């Protein structure tokens, strides 16, 4: 991230290419690299053609104090949209238009946004996902939208159906997915075992828009009067909202969602990472399209300001583990200057009120194989990564072990307690 002279803030996307990948346009070399060898080489935009920058222009209307999610960033999705074996890229923008890049091979991309998408309405895009929504064998693109506005035309989510030959048709309203609830991210999974993809929509209520009180929104969440997450069932050509009958109401500030078979019963479960006081949720599939929330039965504690999450078998025991990020720095001084406070009375009142044991550190829930999880982030050395956003498990050096990549950073150090006072 780098500021420019106009006072704007640019979130650029340099391409990082694994040096163990061999020919970038050909096959991948799976040979493990020596630990001292560099893993990645930056590909300049002049070569790749990917010059997208999610530039945030601050103003009296758009800044942290009027909209605290102004610097949360957008989303990125990679997938083979044309069946040529190469991953293409969709990038979502907040104050700038989204961009779609076609992979030409050799780490070169072509911006096809203007010719491939039949419409690109203005709005504040957030998370983006690729999935074969209509079961035609082609990846489609779902885009969540929110931002500092209550205009439903600008917060309506988008669904681009892949027509083939690099043509995409926006069909969210037609399919029943034109949600306007300020969504953060969507994940696609088969909740009713009928062979098609349903959708869980993670919602983060609009907060402090143009002077609104933060506490008014927080109170609405705690009273369950704010928008809830949504679960949409695919009924073949149309999606039906089954949120309440499925038992997945989440009145919270959701920032991360993962779908995985957590208990190895053959059904996809859902883990939701929630910011602020409402704890994370672990929805276990019953097998009939409904879910049971079982976080407090299966874990002992969770992160407090939960951000992104990822699920992977990080210890190669055949069981899925859960990584959730928070905001605590590894540096002693910085961790004290940015801590959420020492308020035992509030902590225990939340515990007694059913809001569970929450601590301001990353959590790594190791699957015990008996339906429970043990939290081992401190033991694993991944408990403190500062103000973090998204984790990703992947074997980056081809040694058979999953490595952990964490994105973090925030433009202003507004958590500094001296500043807040």
pLDDT in tens, 137-184: 999 999 999 998 889 999 999 999 999 999 999 999 999 999 999 999
pLDDT at 5: 36
pLDDT one-digit tens code per residue, 65-79: 888 888 999 999 999
Q: Is residue 410 part of a domain?
A: yes
pLDDT at 341: 66
Same domain, 203 and 259: no
Point out the domain boundary residue: 216, 251, 286: 251
Q: Is residue 66 part of a domain?
A: yes
* Cα 366 to Cα 419: distance, rounded to the nearest angstrom: 37
Give residue for tokens 């073949």: 236
Asked if residues 368 and 334 have their Cβ atoms less than 8 Å apart, the reply is no
Same domain, 420 and 317: yes
Asked if residues 338 and 328 have their Cβ atoms less than 8 Å apart, the reply is yes
**Residue bearing the bigger pLDDT, 212 or 21:** 212
**Residue bearing the bigger pLDDT, 209 or 82:** 82
pLDDT at 379: 97
Same domain, 85 and 204: yes
For 315-331, what is the mean pLDDT? 93
Q: Is residue 362 part of a domain?
A: yes
**Residue bearing the bigger pLDDT, 396 or 219:** 396
pLDDT one-digit tens code per residue, 280-293: 999 999 988 999 99
Same domain, 245 and 220: yes
Q: What is the 3-state secondary structure (H, E, C) of 19-34?
A: HHHCCCCCCCCCCCCC
Q: Which phi and psi angles does 213 have, rounded to 5°?
A: -70, 135
* Cα 198 to Cα 259: distance, rounded to the nearest angstrom: 11
Please tell me the total count of domains within the chain.
2
pLDDT one-digit tens code per residue, 228-265: 899 999 999 899 999 999 999 888 888 999 999 999 99
Q: Is residue 48 part of a domain?
A: yes
For 79-96, what is the mean pLDDT? 98
Q: Is residue 397 part of a domain?
A: yes
pLDDT at 343: 76
pLDDT one-digit tens code per residue, 10-57: 444 445 554 443 444 445 555 666 667 788 999 999 999 999 999 999
Point out the domain boundary residue: 251, 277, 306: 251
Strand intervals (E) in 287-362: 291-293, 302-303, 309-312, 321-324, 358-359
Q: Supply 387's token pair.
A: 């103000």
For 212-226, what is the mean pLDDT? 50
Give residue for tokens 């203005």: 122
Same domain, 199 and 333: no
Same domain, 371 and 315: yes
Lowest-confidence region among 10-19, 116-125, 297-306: 10-19
Asked if residues 98 and 237 have their Cβ atoms less than 8 Å apart, the reply is no
Same domain, 167 and 273: no
Point out the domain boundary residue: 202, 234, 251: 251
pLDDT at 12: 44
Q: Is residue 375 part of a domain?
A: yes
Q: Is residue 58 part of a domain?
A: yes
Same domain, 157 and 283: no
Q: Is residue 16 part of a domain?
A: no
* Average pLDDT for the chain: 87
pTM of the model: 0.87
- How many residues are listed for the chain in this entry? 421
Same domain, 56 and 204: yes
For 91-106, what is the mean pLDDT? 97
Same domain, 210 and 355: no
Same domain, 280 and 195: no
User: Per-residue pLDDT for 328 more than 70?
Assistant: yes
User: Per-residue pLDDT for 202 more than 90?
Assistant: yes
CA distances to 23, 32, 389, 402 from 20, in Å: 9, 8, 26, 15
**Residue bearing the bigger pLDDT, 86 or 4:** 86
For 354-367, what is the mean pLDDT? 94
For 274-303, what is the mean pLDDT? 94
Domain that holds residue 103: 43-251
Same domain, 157 and 201: yes
């Amino acid at each position: 991230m780098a500021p420019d002279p106009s006072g704007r803030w640019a979130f650029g996307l340099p391409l990082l290419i694994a040096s163990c990948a061999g020919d970038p346009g050909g096959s991948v070399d799976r040979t493990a690299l020596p630990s001292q060898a560099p893993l990645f080489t930056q590909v300049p935009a002049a070569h790749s053609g990917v010059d997208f920058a999610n530039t945030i222009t601050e103003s009296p209307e758009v800044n942290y104090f009027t909209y605290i999610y102004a610097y949360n960033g957008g989303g990125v999705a990679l997938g083979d949209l044309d069946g040529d074996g190469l991953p293409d890229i969709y990038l979502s923008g907040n104050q700038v238009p989204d961009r779609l890049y076609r992979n030409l091979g050799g780490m070169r991309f072509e911006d096809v946004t203007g010719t491939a998408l039949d419409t690109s309405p203005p709005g504040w895009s957030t998370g983006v996902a690729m999935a074969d929504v209509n079961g035609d064998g082609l990846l489609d693109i779902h885009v969540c939208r929110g931002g500092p506005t209550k205009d439903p035309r600008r917060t309506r989510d988008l669904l681009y159906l892949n027509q083939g030959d690099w043509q995409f048709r926006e069909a969210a309203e037609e399919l029943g997915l034109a949600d306007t609830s300020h969504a953060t991210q969507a994940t696609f999974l088969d909740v009713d075992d009928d062979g098609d993809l349903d959708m869980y929509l993670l919602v983060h209520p609009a907060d402090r828009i143009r002077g609104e009180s933060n506490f008014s929104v927080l109170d609405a969440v705690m009273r369950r009067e704010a928008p809830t997450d949504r679960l949409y069932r695919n009924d073949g050509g149309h999606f039906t909202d089954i949120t309440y009958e499925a038992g997945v109401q989440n009145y919270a500030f959701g920032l991360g969602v993962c779908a995985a078979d957590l208990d190895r019963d053959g059904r996809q479960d859902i883990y939701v990472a929630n910011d602020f006081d409402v704890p994370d949720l672990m929805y276990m599939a019953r097998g009939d399209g409904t879910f049971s929330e079982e976080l407090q039965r299966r874990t002992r504690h969770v992160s407090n300001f939960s951000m992104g999450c990822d699920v992977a078998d990080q210890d190669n025991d055949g069981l899925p583990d859960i990584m959730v990020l928070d905001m605590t720095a590894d540096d002693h001084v910085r961790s004290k200057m940015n801590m959420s406070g020492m308020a035992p009375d509030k902590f225990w009142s939340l515990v007694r009120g059913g809001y569970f044991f929450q601590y301001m550190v990353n959590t790594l829930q190791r699957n015990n194989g008996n339906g429970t999880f043990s939290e081992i982030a401190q033991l694993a050395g991944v408990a403190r990564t500062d103000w973090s956003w998204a984790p990703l498990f992947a074997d980056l050096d081809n040694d058979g072990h999953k490595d952990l990549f964490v994105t973090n950073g925030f433009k202003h150090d507004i958590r500094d307690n001296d500043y807040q006072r």
